[in-house]
Amino acid sequence: MEIEFQRVGKKYESGQEALSQVSFHLRQGEMAFLTGHSGAGKSTLMKLMMMIERQTSGQILVDGVDLRTLSRRAVPHHRRRVGVVFQNHQLLLDRSVFHNVALPLQVSGADPAQIAKRVRAALDKVGLLDKEKYNPMALSGGEQQRVGIARAVVNKPQLLLADEPTGNLDPKLSAEIMNLFQEFNRVGVTVLVASHDLALVARMRHRVLTLNQGRMVNDGGFG
Amino acid sequence: MAQKPNQRGATRESIKATKHNWPTRTTFSPKQYLRQHQATLAESFMRLVSYPLASVMTVMVIAIALSLPGGLYVLLKNVQSVTDQWEQQSVITLYLFPNMEDTQALALSHRLSAQDDIASVEYISKEEGLRYFEQSSGYEQIMSALPENPLPIVLRVIPKQAVDITTLSSLQALRDTLAAEKEVDHAELDAQWLQRLANILSFGQRFVYALSVLLVVAVLLIVGNTIRMAVESRRDEVLVMKLVGATDAYIRRPFLYMGFWFGVLGGFFASLCILLLSWWVSAPAERLIDLYQSGFELQSFNADEIVLCLTISAFVGVSGAWIAVNRHIANIELQ
Residue B61 has pLDDT above 90, yes or no: yes
Residue B88 has pLDDT above 50, yes or no: yes
Of the ranges A145-149, A193-197, B155-159, B291-295, which one carries the lowest mean pLDDT score? B291-295
More confident residue, B103 or B261: B261
pLDDT tens profile B225-252? 999 988 888 888 888 898 898 888 889 9
Residue B19 has pLDDT above 70, yes or no: no
More confident residue, B59 or B16: B59
How far apart are alpha carbons B179 and B167 in whole angstroms? 18
Please name which of A32, A25, A18 lies closest in space to residue A4, comparing C-alpha atoms.
A25
Mean pLDDT taken over chain A: 89
Residue A60 has pLDDT above 90, yes or no: yes
The shortest C-alpha distance from A114 to chain B (Å) reads 10
A93-112 average pLDDT score:
90
How far apart are alpha carbons A62 and A101 in whole angstroms? 25
Residues of chain B contacting A94 with CB distance shorter than 8 Å: 237
- Spatial contact of A163 and A43, defined as CB atoms under 8 Å apart: yes
- Spatial contact of B231 and B324, defined as CB atoms under 8 Å apart: yes
Using DSSP's 3-state secondary structure scheme, residue B24 falls into coil
Determine the pLDDT at residue B2: 42
Residue B5 has pLDDT above 50, yes or no: no
Query: What is the count of residue pairs from A and B with beta carbons less than 8 Å apart?
Result: 104
How far apart are alpha carbons B63 and B177 in whole angstroms? 52
Please name which of B280, B125, B104, B94 lies closest in space to residue B189, comparing C-alpha atoms.
B94
Q: Do B9 and A184 touch (CB under 8 A)?
A: yes
Residue B140 has pLDDT above 50, yes or no: yes
Determine the pLDDT at residue B270: 95
* Count of Cβ atoms closer than 10 Å to residue B211 Cβ: 14
**Is A164 a member of any domain?**
yes
Expressed as residue numbers, the domain containing A80 is 1-95+156-217
B211-219 average pLDDT score:
92
pLDDT band at B7 (very low <50, low <70, confident <90, very high): very low
Residue B182 has pLDDT above 60, yes or no: yes
Determine the pLDDT at residue B294: 58
Residue B9 has pLDDT above 50, yes or no: no
Residue B108 has pLDDT above 60, yes or no: yes
What sign results for the dihedral spanned by CA atoms B221, B227, B230, B235?
negative
B105-122 average pLDDT score:
86
Residue/partner pairs of A177-180 with CB below 8 Å, 24 or more apart: A177/A142, A177/A145, A177/A146, A177/A149, A178/A204, A180/A125, A180/A126, A180/A146, A180/A149
Nearest C-alpha in B relative to A30: B12
**Is A223 a member of any domain?**
no
B85-105 average pLDDT score:
81
**Is A21 a member of any domain?**
yes
Determine the pLDDT at residue B24: 47
B81-100 average pLDDT score:
78
Q: Do B22 and A65 touch (CB under 8 A)?
A: yes
pLDDT band at A222 (very low <50, low <70, confident <90, very high): low
Nearest C-alpha in A relative to B25: A77
Judged by phi (left if over 0) then psi (alpha if -120 to 50, else beta), residue B184 lies in: beta
CA distances A156 to A61, A184, B143, B329, Å, are 21, 10, 110, 27
Mean pLDDT taken over chain B: 81
B60-72 average pLDDT score:
92
**Is A212 a member of any domain?**
yes
Determine the pLDDT at residue B21: 46
Determine the pLDDT at residue A10: 92
Q: Do A76 and B333 touch (CB under 8 A)?
A: no
Residue B18 has pLDDT above 70, yes or no: no
**Is A188 a member of any domain?**
yes
pLDDT tens profile A77-98? 999 999 999 877 789 998 999 9
Determine the pLDDT at residue B306: 92
Interface with chain A: mutation pick from B14, B15, B47, highest number of A CBs within 10 Å: B15
**Is A134 a member of any domain?**
no
pLDDT tens profile B26-44? 556 777 778 778 888 888 8
- Percent of chain A surpassing pLDDT 90: 50
- Spatial contact of A189 and A159, defined as CB atoms under 8 Å apart: yes
Residue B92 has pLDDT above 80, yes or no: yes
Q: Do B18 and A158 touch (CB under 8 A)?
A: yes
- Spatial contact of A93 and A136, defined as CB atoms under 8 Å apart: yes
B208-227 average pLDDT score:
91
B161-181 average pLDDT score:
82
The shortest C-alpha distance from B28 to chain A (Å) reads 10
pLDDT band at B330 (very low <50, low <70, confident <90, very high): confident
Query: Which of B9, B11, B244 faces A103 most closely, judged by CB atoms?
Result: B244
Domain range summary for chain B, segments of one domain joined by +: 30-84+197-329, 92-190
What sign results for the dihedral spanned by CA atoms B219, B224, B229, B231?
positive
User: Domain containing A11 — which CATH number?
Assistant: 3.40.50.300
pLDDT band at B273 (very low <50, low <70, confident <90, very high): very high
pLDDT band at A190 (very low <50, low <70, confident <90, very high): very high
pLDDT tens profile B258-270? 999 999 999 999 9
Query: Which of B9, B20, B333 faces A52 most closely, judged by CB atoms?
Result: B333
- Percent of chain B surpassing pLDDT 90: 22
**Is A84 a member of any domain?**
yes
Identify the architecture of domain B92-190 in CATH.
2-Layer Sandwich (3.30)
A109-126 average pLDDT score:
90
Q: Do A109 and B36 touch (CB under 8 A)?
A: yes
Determine the pLDDT at residue B16: 42
Nearest C-alpha in A relative to B9: A156
**Is A119 a member of any domain?**
no
The shortest C-alpha distance from A72 to chain B (Å) reads 10
Q: Where are the beta strands (DSSP E) in A12-56?
A: 17-26, 31-35
A161-167 average pLDDT score:
88
Query: Which of A63, A79, A90 faces B245 most closely, judged by CB atoms?
Result: A79
B166-174 average pLDDT score:
82
